[in-house]
């Protein structure tokens, strides 16, 4: 099943790192020693993240914010982790206005957060990138609940300091379920940004390799408790510690491209109305800061979860 395979295999290096933290996690964490508040770290305008009444991230630290993937690219790699002391609740501000709360959570924690979350340690991204994830919120997104990370006040605060990037936008154009061996998915990618982006191109990589790290297409029933998935013969890459542009394509600024996925092995889906979910993935953990910028553009990182209602006859 594609969703189970993603959980098990999409981040091949994650289990090795997590083992180290599992070993250390058996000991109870001690309360950190409170340090005096640095006068230079008062709540500021622009984008600002506060934890324990302290600023752990603000516009002085940010290079830019990719709004499409909610990735914060830092000027100084590792600066963010140096500022916080413990896991727990935090708050996002924009121009001194409180926007939403989030959680800082360890990957090995038994706590399952709801809503925005920053996972630690940084496993899926380089240490100069902070990802504000959405935790276990896919069902809410599927039901049309607004994403609280996407607030116009945040956009304006980022633009104030030239730190806003559109990133890439994705849309499901159609899903045609003709039979279990004839399912067609069409996507559109848009680049409304001022820079060019490289994206992982499924047509160049092939279905097996692309779906090794992608959730693939799923169909949920009306109650969101039954899932039908694609059946893919995965083609794992030879290694994960290199970056290769041969499997990527360049989407220039103000351009669009359409991608087609043809599934010839899918679960048998009874007639009815379903919610289609597709994850568009990128090579997050194999791209470091040095390789991010290429001569013709930037490599787009992150992932997008796309939804569309589908009728199977």
C-beta of residue 164 within 8 angstroms of C-beta of residue 113: no
The CA-to-CA distance between both ends of the chain, in Å, stands at 23
Look at the block and give the residue holding tokens 């009728």: 311
- The H or E element containing residue 169 is strand 168-179
pLDDT at residue 9 in the model? 40
Label the pairing between strands 129-131 and 197-200. Answer: unpaired
Residue 250: exposure state from Cβ atoms within 10 A (0-12, 13-18, ≥19):
middle
Contact 88, 103 (CB under 8 A): yes
Predicted local distance difference test score (pLDDT) of residue 288: 67
Structure confidence at residue 250 (pLDDT): 96
Give 10-residue mean pLDDT values along the chain (313 residues). 38 40 38 40 82 88 95 84 77 94 82 82 79 74 78 97 96 96 96 94 85 84 85 67 74 96 93 92 70 88 90 94
At residue 89's C-alpha, the angle toward residues 87 and 93, to 5°, is 125
Q: Which residue has the tokens 């959730």?
A: 215
Q: By the 8 A CB rule, do 60 and 48 touch?
A: no
pTM, entire model: 0.81
**DSSP labels, 256-276:** EEEEEEEESSB----SEEEEE
**Rounded-to-integer distance, Cα 51 and Cα 80, Å:** 12
pLDDT of residue 105: 87
DSSP state of 246: G
Peptide bond into 121 cis (omega under 30): yes
Cα Rg, the chain, nearest whole Å: 20
> What pLDDT is stored for residue 255 in this prediction?
97
Please give the pLDDT value at position 303: 86
pLDDT at 163: 97
Q: Contact at 8 Å (CB) between 77 and 32? A: no
Domains delineated in the chain: 44-165 (no CATH), 167-312 (2.60.40.2970)
């Amino acid at each position: 099943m594609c969703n189970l395979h993603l959980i098990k295999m999409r981040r091949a290096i994650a289990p090795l790192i997590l083992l180290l933290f599992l070993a250390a996690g058996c000991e109870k964490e001690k309360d950190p020693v409170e340090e005096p508040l640095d006068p230079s770290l008062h709540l500021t305008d622009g984008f600002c993240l506060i934890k324990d009444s302290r600023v752990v991230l603000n516009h002085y630290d940010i290079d830019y914010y990719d709004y499409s993937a909610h990735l914060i690219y830092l000027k100084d790699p590792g600066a963010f982790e140096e500022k916080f002391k413990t896991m727990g609740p935090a708050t996002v501000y924009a121009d001194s206005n409180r926007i939403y709360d989030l959680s800082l959570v360890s990957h090995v924690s038994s706590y399952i957060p709801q809503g925005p979350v920053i996972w630690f340690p940084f496993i899926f991204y380089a240490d100069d990138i902070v990802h504000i994830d959405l935790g276990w919120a896919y069902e809410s997104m599927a039901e049309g609940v607004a994403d609280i990370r996407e607030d116009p006040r945040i956009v304006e605060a980022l633009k104030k300091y030239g730190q806003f990037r559109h990133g890439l936008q994705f849309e499901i154009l159609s899903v045609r379920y003709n039979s279990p061996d004839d399912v067609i998915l069409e996507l559109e990618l848009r680049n409304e940004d001022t820079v060019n982006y490289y994206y992982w191109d499924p047509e160049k990589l092939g279905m097996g390799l692309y779906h090794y790290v992608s959730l693939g297409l799923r169909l949920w029933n009306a109650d969101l408790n039954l899932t039908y998935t694609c059946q893919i013969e995965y083609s794992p890459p030879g290694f994960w510690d290199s970056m290769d542009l041969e499997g990527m394509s360049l989407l220039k600024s103000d351009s669009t491209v359409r991608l087609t996925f043809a599934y010839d092995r899918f679960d048998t889906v009874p007639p009815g109305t379903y919610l289609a979910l597709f994850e568009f993935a990128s090579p997050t953990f194999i791209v470091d800061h040095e390789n991010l910028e290429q001569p013709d553009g930037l490599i787009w990182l992150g992932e997008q979860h796309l939804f569309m209602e589908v009728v199977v006859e």
